[in-house]
Amino acid sequence: MEDSSLKRFGVSMEGHLLRKFDHLVTQKGYANRSEAVRDLVRDALVQQSWELEEQIVAGSILLFYNHHQRNLLEELTTIQHDMHDNILATTHFHLDKASCLELIIVKGKAKDIKLLSNKMTSLKGVEYGKFIVAPVEHV
């Protein structure tokens, strides 16, 4: 059973670290430190769920690449077709004559999504790749 009541606890940290944290709280627009700490804890739990291979996760894979790279488009298409059960949608943007940005929305077991992301981001011609994860099951 989920306990949604608020609990208080203390946190100790060095003054210089607290000043930097307070600056972050203000910069990001949090009403108070507690909201910021809750977000940090949620993010840490999401990242941990990504490490559990059987956990169902959803998210997006962001790829920046040079579409002139030999065989890259064919390789990306083959990988996506081979793992089509994990791909919900894709969006492709032409940034300039050579550069493309592709956003791939995915869902599945963490181990399968890791494999998909790693296969695409490691291809020659992919200049930057990042997977942003969110657990499907509540943290």
Q: In what order do the strands lie in the sheet with 87-94?
A: 87-94, 99-109, 56-66, 126-135
Half-sphere exposure at residue 113, Cβ-oriented, CA atoms within 13 angstroms: 31
Distance of CA 78 to the CA centre of its chain: 23
Q: Is 100 annotated as a binding residue?
A: yes
Name beta bridge partners: 102: 63, 92
Q: Is 94 annotated as a binding residue?
A: yes
Residues contributing to the annotated binding site for Ni(2+)? 81, 92, 94, 100
Residues contributing to the annotated binding site? 81, 92, 94, 100
